[in-house]
Amino acid sequence: MDKPHNALYFSRTHPASGCPCHLEVLPGGLTVSVSESSVETVPLERLSIKSGGFDYDHLILSWTTDGDERQMYVKDPIVIASLATLTAPEVSRHIARSIKDTSRARQATKMWIWLTMASLMAILVGLWAASDVLVQVAVHRIPIEWEHTLGESARQQVLMGQRVITEGPTVDAVQNMTKRLAGQLHDSPYRFRATVVRNETVNAMALPGGSVIVYTGLLKQADSPEEVAGVLAHELSHVVLRHGMESMVQSAGLMTIVMVVLGNQQGAIGALERLGIQITSLKFSRDKETAADLHGLHLLDEADISPAGMIAFFERLAKSDGMPTALLSTHPMSAERAARLKREASSLPRVSPVPLDVDWAAVKASL
């Protein structure tokens, strides 16, 4: 009976695709059996050995018999191990090196397959998330000056027809809070400035570039200056995280923004409006709102302002019914949102907050 095949034999007398054979490694040399009647013995010292095969997982044994160059492809680990133990030390070293090369090549192959699969996965996931990532990349390349341009146009648009309060306790209070929070945004390229508008709507916004607008309706609804500071911290975080720019690019496309900014700058917002984009009523995704909440909470903490005000105000808005709040239309408040803030706040180190330098009674009296 033929012995099981464990190697492939190439010689002038065999087919070009090789001849399956049984290889045995004995102390005297290799015994190659192609069939029961065809057995050949090759002394070990006549062998030259190297690694090869598609992914270098074979040993190739070569020798010459009667002027005919012969080769044997071996993959069987038992044969490879016996070759290593029986061959002369210099050949053993060669085999050891080949085995090492083989396993390294095999690992490289596995790594290559793994990388290919990972790349494919990345492309699939990337396509799914591409729009968001591309927008972020694009926005982070937009010069800050453009944000100032768009923000200033938006500010003029928001304040058109509104009664701007230029002095008094509300202006002092809002400017004081904005300054205290902005003081923690070291190296920020934005110019934060606050404007108070006499309007019963519960609203506050921060525009690209750093303009903050607070409606007296929000001040009326607040029970403490810390509550107002909480809303401001959230709004400033939208600016720092460039959420306004991202939303504009997402709605209008980057090229439109480029043309709007590089074109007639005075009419930037008008141009956006014609495209159906109202910078002041841009809604952010839930992810962006969460990011602004958490960033705002840490901003309060760094400014030594108690985050309890922010949480209390958000909780009250979540429960409010029939209140004229523009803030709610762009900021759906939920118990879940307040709970998340509470959890985050409880993980902050306990530092006694420093009260805001605000005449709150005078603010309330002036409303």
Least distance CB 330 / Zn ion (angstroms)? 7
- Distance between CA atoms of residues 3 and 16, nearest Å: 22
Q: Of 21-29, 30-38, 102-110, 326-334, which part binds Zn ion (CB under 5 A)? A: 326-334
Least distance CB 353 / Zn ion (angstroms)? 23
Name the residue among 160, 295, 170 with its Cα closest to residue 239. 295
Using the minimum distance from each CB to Zn ion, give the nearer residue, 227 or 289: 289
Least distance CB 235 / Zn ion (angstroms)? 7
- 70-73 LR contacts (CB < 8 Å, sep 24+): 70/9, 70/10, 70/11, 71/9, 71/10, 71/11, 72/7, 72/8, 72/9, 72/10, 72/21, 72/23, 72/30, 72/32, 73/7, 73/8, 73/10, 73/18
Least distance CB 289 / Zn ion (angstroms)? 5
Least distance CB 149 / Zn ion (angstroms)? 22
Using the minimum distance from each CB to Zn ion, give the nearer residue, 65 or 329: 329
Residue 293 in tokens: 């909440």
| 329: Cβ contacts below 8 Å, ≥ 6 apart | 281
DSSP character at residue 264: -
Give 289-315 as a DSSP string.
HHHHHHHHHHHHHHTT--THHHHHHHH
Least distance CB 108 / Zn ion (angstroms)? 49
Name the residue among 198, 209, 201, 215 with its Cα closest to residue 155. 209
Give 76-110 as a DSSP string.
-HHHHHHHHHHS-HHHHHHHHHHHHHHHHHHHHHH
Size of the site for Zn ion (CB under 5 A): 3
Using the minimum distance from each CB to Zn ion, give the nearer residue, 289 or 301: 289
Least distance CB 175 / Zn ion (angstroms)? 21
Task: Tally Cβ neighbours within 10 Å of residue 104.
Answer: 12
Using the minimum distance from each CB to Zn ion, give the nearer residue, 3 or 298: 298
Least distance CB 294 / Zn ion (angstroms)? 12
Using the minimum distance from each CB to Zn ion, give the nearer residue, 31 or 290: 290
For residues 238 and 187, the answer to whether their CB atoms sit within 8 Å is no
DSSP character at residue 241: T
Using the minimum distance from each CB to Zn ion, give the nearer residue, 9 or 314: 314
Least distance CB 323 / Zn ion (angstroms)? 17
Q: Of 167-175, 267-275, 323-331, 353-361, which part binds Zn ion (CB under 5 A)? A: 323-331
Q: Of 86-94, 108-116, 175-183, 328-336, which part binds Zn ion (CB under 5 A)? A: 328-336
Least distance CB 126 / Zn ion (angstroms)? 27
Using the minimum distance from each CB to Zn ion, give the nearer residue, 246 or 289: 289
Site string for Zn ion, 281-320 (x = CB under 5 A): --------x--x----------------------------
Using the minimum distance from each CB to Zn ion, give the nearer residue, 32 or 202: 202
5 CB-contact burial (10 Å; exposed 0-12 / middle 13-18 / buried 19+):
middle
Using the minimum distance from each CB to Zn ion, give the nearer residue, 241 or 345: 241
Instruction: Compute φ and ψ for 36, nearest 5 degrees.
Output: -60, -30
- Distance between CA atoms of residues 130 and 53, nearest Å: 40
Q: Of 74-82, 162-170, 249-257, 330-338, which part binds Zn ion (CB under 5 A)? A: 330-338
Site string for Zn ion, 265-284 (x = CB under 5 A): --------------------
Using the minimum distance from each CB to Zn ion, give the nearer residue, 268 or 292: 292
Pairing of strands 193-198, 211-215: parallel
Residue ranges that bind Zn ion, judged by CB under 5 A: 289, 292, 331
